Amino acid sequence: MPHYKLGKQPKKTDPRTFALSRYLTSAVPTPPLQVDYGKAVTSWGMLGNDTVGDCAWAGQAHADMLWVANAQQQQLAVTTAQVLHAYEVVTGYNPNDVQPDGSNPTDRGTALLDALNYWRKTGIDHQKITAFVEVDPKNTDHVKLALSLFGTLYVGVQLPDSVLPKGPDNLPAWTVAPDGSAANQPNPSNGHCVIYDEYDETGLTAVTWGTTVPVSWEFHAAYCDELYAMLSPNWFRNGTDPQGVDIATLTTDLQQVSH
């Protein structure tokens, strides 16, 4: 698949990963009908995901860009080299280990949980998060709530073959659903990481491969196998916690099980 790579390893679980539902309080607001935070970003950038399976890291950089663009009205400059450095540090990817057939055995992709832990401890170009929680992808209200409050969501999908890119600038919309055909079945070999930057009643929008792709709610429910919301100082710049989320308890919990 030239020009487009995947790169999400199978979901890794850890009992210390907390669920968003654990921290919702009675003050939690009703999610707005629609949000669009991605419009503040002028250019997303491929960030290496056209040549290697660094989608988890491109997604991380895209989230950092979104937060800064909205909260600070500035475009965060993230380079491909910075993204690939994080990929190398965490996974052992070696760009020099290219075989005669052009393959690279060290280009194995990333478990999103490993990327999230690096994000909290180090971050790409020191853009760190302070916490992350898992969101139930089947709970549409929680998906909307988390996206509206936290600014973006970090998304793992198992893409069906039917929506894989057909070539340069030919990205099918993510609007199919399992229908019994092989082409529309979730394919574990097509693990991919994106971020969501907006939603409305018809669906969400994914940022991937330097551009955006519409995602129906049906597609999200069928193919998303892991979903996270991150607490970023770039988003909550004034120390204000997201409404209706018990961040104090989350912070205490994190201190008790610090990785």
Gap between the Cα atoms of 25 and 6, Å rounded? 37
Type and span of the H or E element at 249? helix 247-256
Give residue 47's pLDDT.
97
Give residue 251's pLDDT.
81
Picking from 120, 72, 113, the residue whose alpha carbon sits closest to that of residue 232 is 120
What percent of the chain is predicted at pLDDT more than 70? 97
How many whole angstroms from its chain centre is CA 126?
18
Give residue 158's pLDDT.
98
Gap between the Cα atoms of 223 and 245, Å rounded? 27
Domains of the chain: 20-256 (3.90.70.10)
pLDDT band at 239 (very low <50, low <70, confident <90, very high): low
Picking from 64, 79, 47, 26, the residue whose alpha carbon sits closest to that of residue 151 is 64
- Give the tokens for residue 3: 């020009």
pLDDT band at 1 (very low <50, low <70, confident <90, very high): very low
The tens digit of pLDDT for each residue in 108-140 reads 999 999 999 999 999 999 999 999 999 999 999
What percent of the chain is predicted at pLDDT more than 90? 82
Give residue 3's pLDDT.
79
Gap between the Cα atoms of 2 and 35, Å rounded? 33
Give residue 17's pLDDT.
87
Average pLDDT of the chain, as a whole number: 93
Average the pLDDT over 238-255 and give the result. Answer: 80
* Higher-confidence position of 2 and 58: 58
| Residue 224, beta-bridge partner list | 157
Type and span of the H or E element at 141? helix 140-150
Gap between the Cα atoms of 55 and 36, Å rounded? 22
249 contact partners, CB below 8 Å, separation of at least 6: 23
- The reported pTM is 0.94
